[in-house]
Amino acid sequence: MNILPGQINGHNDLLEKKHRRDYQYLENKLTDDGHDTEELVRKIKALQVAIPSWALGTGGTRFGRFPGGGEPRNLEEKIGDIGTLHKLNRSSGAISLHIPWDIPDDPKAILDLAKDNDLVFDAVNSNTFQDQPRQAHSYKFGSLAHTEEAIRDRSIAHNLEVIKYGELLGSKSLTVWLADGTCFPGQQNFRKAFMRTLESLQEIYAGLPHDWKMLIEYKPYEPNFYSTVIQDWGSSHLLAGKLGNRAFSLVDLGHHLPNTNIEQIVALLIMEGKLGGFHFNDSKYGDDDLTVGSIKPYQLFLVFNELVEGIENPALSNPTPAWMIDASHNVKDPLEDLLQSVEAIKIAYARALLVKQHELEEAREQNDVVKAQELLQNAFRTDVRPLVAEARLRSTGALDPVGMFRELAIRQQLITERGHKTISTGL
Ligand code: PSV
Ligand code: MN
Ligand code: MN
């Protein structure tokens, strides 16, 4: 979808008067409160959140899928869709590929197309949870943790192949999420399965380019429902620690049991310099991949508070994590949902930037519980939307990305171009 700068300017012209009023009010308030608004805008502008290639089509559930039409039919069209998002919000400038769902048959052409759309390739994701057509070995009973060496070897080879594709596209990290685990007590020896996983990961790590990271994702259940080999941050951290300094844990917000204190996990992983990646979504019951910020915005803010404090703290040396949205839905337009997701992430980030870290630390030292809570909630209760909009405006994005998506009838245009019934891969 070609969106012309003139169209964005036209949209912004209509909204700018109101935006200026709102921004002026917030700018005065924040300046009075001791914040440097220019610095805040600069930081918000710099935040880029990768879009996974599997989030552009309707995800569906095991009970059915209700595609909305005009969904991308191949990698080229997926890149086109992410390019559209990026033009609108200027914060979706990276794509995360899943192999073999999105094999770049002509990597050079794909790279050029991504460049034309102002996109870079973020982490590449391997897939050893689904059998592919004509695959000799089945992942039914696991992949990197499988009891059979031939299947472990096949899984290792797949990961190494994914790295090769990533290298051609300029990616710098491999994300490993495993479905390996069990559905029934007694099915597996926990320690042996873990050790087999470690050994397999060691072989992949040996093939990791020197400037790459390996990101190890954990998940407590699904598709296995009794145990998973990498069930929690402890298991992931254990593996990352044993592998070496280019291996990190990846936190996916949806991969925790209800009420887990995710912000505390983030704080400790950053303390260890081992938080490598972050997947955003939200959930009410489980890993149901709802839109980030739609259910627990305060939790998201608290997580960002740890991320901001941890990453900006000169005493700590955690690298900036790879940010990615990891959600797909059945009832929303996927592109509108991604615009909402990026906006929710930026709002949480902007609010976290308002936390007065020194004062918070002082309150903590003095056990002033009320003051600590006030400091956090003052930041959380600030309506930062004009700040986020200002950052977008200054990056040549649209003041109201979802509004503009609708004004331009982008979905209708995609349906005209691609048709109502399209097949796209995705979870
Ligand atoms: C499955 O839970 C999952 O959503 C993981 O979070 C991965 O990041 C993603 O699929 C792709 O492998
Ligand atoms: Mn994930
Ligand atoms: Mn997930």
Instruction: Give 234-268 pLDDT, tens digit per residue.
Output: 999 999 999 999 999 999 999 999 999 999 999 99
Residues with CB under 6 A from ligand 1: 125, 177, 217, 219, 252, 279, 287, 326, 427
The ranges assigned to domains in the chain are 48-351
List for the chain the helix, strand, coil content (%; round to 5).
50, 10, 40
Cα–Cα distance for residue pair 299/266, rounded to 1 Å: 12
Per DSSP, which regions of 326-399 are E strands?
none
Higher pLDDT, 424 or 344: 344
| β-sheet bridge partners, residue 228 | 181
Percent of the chain with pLDDT over 90: 92
- For CA atoms 141, 144, 148, 150, the dihedral sign is positive
At residue 59, does pLDDT exceed 90?
Answer: no
Q: At 272, list the tokens.
A: 């260890």
* pTM of the full structure: 0.97
User: Is the peptide bond between 401 and the residue preceding it cis, with omega within 30 degrees of 0?
Assistant: no
Cα–Cα distance for residue pair 383/399, rounded to 1 Å: 16
Q: Whose CA is nearest to atom 7 of ligand 1?
A: 177
Rounded to whole angstroms, what are the CA distances from 317 to 44, 109, 221, 276, 311?
Answer: 21, 37, 31, 12, 7
Query: From the alpha carbon of 252, which atom of ligand 1 is closest?
Result: 6
Q: Whose CA is nearest to atom 4 of ligand 1?
A: 326
Residue 326 has a CB neighbour count (10 Å cut-off) of 29
Cα–Cα distance for residue pair 6/291, rounded to 1 Å: 31
Average per-residue pLDDT for the chain: 96
Pairing of strands 120-125, 51-52: unpaired
Ligand 1 geometric centre to CA of 354 (Å): 31
Kindly identify the ligand whose nearest atom is closest to the C-alpha of 125: 1
User: Is the peptide bond between 5 and the residue preceding it cis, with omega within 30 degrees of 0?
Assistant: no
- The band of 422, judged by pLDDT with boundaries at 50, 70 and 90, is confident
Of 97, 152, 137, 135, residue with least CA distance to 119? 97
Ligand 1 geometric centre to CA of 176 (Å): 9
Ligand 3 geometric centre to CA of 101 (Å): 16
**98, 126, 216, 217, best to mutate for ligand 1 pocket (most atoms within 8 Å of CB):** 217
- For CA atoms 351, 352, 356, 360, the dihedral sign is positive
Cα–Cα distance for residue pair 129/98, rounded to 1 Å: 12
Output the pLDDT for position 60.
Answer: 85
Q: CB of 300 within 8 A of CB of 325?
A: no
Query: From the alpha carbon of 129, which atom of ligand 1 is closest?
Result: 12
Per DSSP, which regions of 196-290 are E strands?
213-217, 227-228, 247-252, 275-280
Cα–Cα distance for residue pair 391/73, rounded to 1 Å: 33
At residue 412, does pLDDT exceed 60?
Answer: yes
Q: What would the pLDDT profile of 287-322 be if each residue is shown by its tens digit?
A: 888 999 999 999 999 999 999 999 889 999 999 999
Cα–Cα distance for residue pair 175/276, rounded to 1 Å: 10
Tokens 């090769």 locate to 164
CB-based neighbours (< 5 A) of ligand 2, an ion:
252, 279, 326
Residue 208 has a CB neighbour count (10 Å cut-off) of 20
**177, 228, 232, 256, best to mutate for ligand 1 pocket (most atoms within 8 Å of CB):** 177
Cα–Cα distance for residue pair 85/398, rounded to 1 Å: 10
Q: Regarding the domain with residue range 48-351, which homologous superfamily does it belong to in the CATH classification?
A: Divalent-metal-dependent TIM barrel enzymes (3.20.20.150)
Beta-carbon contacts of 315 under 8 Å, excluding residues fewer than 6 positions away, are none
Ligand 2 geometric centre to CA of 154 (Å): 22
User: Is the peptide bond between 100 and the residue preceding it cis, with omega within 30 degrees of 0?
Assistant: yes
- The band of 179, judged by pLDDT with boundaries at 50, 70 and 90, is very high
Cα–Cα distance for residue pair 293/283, rounded to 1 Å: 9
The answer to which of 47-51, 268-272, 327-331, 334-338 has the lowest mean pLDDT is 327-331
Q: CB of 321 within 8 A of CB of 275?
A: yes
The one-letter amino acid at 345: I
Ligand 1 geometric centre to CA of 394 (Å): 34
